[in-house]
């Protein structure tokens, strides 16, 4: 119970700190919030009981820090290019085939590489993928999963 409180307090502190700076740098704030959420989700997959709660807390903090750094540097054009590339890659690329994007104005770039395709228990087509984002010459990698929605778009679910 104490570990649950620590995890929740950590997540709340990260989100509140991000909201305080929303007017100064909304990209960094959104990166922090999305990173914290992703980190918490990944952390929840580790261990069980108290160990799982520690994983959530550590994942939240690590994700927030990474998301903050990436969010500081990605502009709307970068995000739009990344999202278009994700949709194209998830729809058309074979497993193991990378699709990349690069913004000539910012110099930022990234890739999406589907790694496997499967049908979920609810009947949705889903794909696991690896994503890279390169900002200021520093590349970060992440794994994710996306499922095709009824409208045909792919939605990242993890």
- At 20-45, the pLDDT tens digits run 444 444 455 555 555 555 655 565 55
Q: What is the pLDDT of residue 110?
A: 94
Give the separation between CA 50 and CA 45, rounded to whole angstroms. Answer: 12
56 against 83, higher pLDDT: 83
Report field, pTM of the whole predicted structure over 0.75: no
Most confident of 34-38, 76-80, 112-116, 150-154: 112-116
Tens-digit pLDDT profile for residues 136-148? 888 999 999 999 9
- Domain extents in the chain: 2-73, 76-156
The Cα–Cα gap between 25 and 21 comes to 6
DSSP string, 73-101: H--HHHHHHHHHHHHHHHHHPPTT--EEE
Give the Cα separation of 29 and 16 in Å (integer): 10
């Amino acid at each position: 119970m104490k570990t649950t409180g620590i995890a929740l307090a950590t997540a709340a502190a990260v989100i509140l700190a991000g909201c305080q700076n929303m007017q100064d740098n909304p990209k960094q704030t959104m990166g922090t919030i999305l990173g914290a959420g992703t980190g918490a989700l990944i952390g929840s997959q580790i261990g069980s009981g108290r160990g799982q709660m520690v994983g959530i807390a550590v994942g939240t903090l690590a994700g927030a820090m990474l998301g903050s750094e990436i969010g500081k540097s990605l502009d709307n054009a970068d995000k739009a290019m990344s999202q278009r590339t994700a949709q194209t890659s998830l729809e058309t690329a074979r497993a193991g085939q990378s699709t990349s994007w690069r913004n000539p104005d910012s110099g930022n770039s990234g890739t999406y590489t589907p790694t496997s395709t499967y049908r979920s228990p609810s009947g949705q087509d889903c794909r696991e993928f690896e994503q890279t984002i390169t900002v200021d010459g520093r590349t970060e990698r992440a794994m994710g999963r996306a499922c095709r929605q009824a409208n045909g778009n792919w939605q990242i679910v993890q």
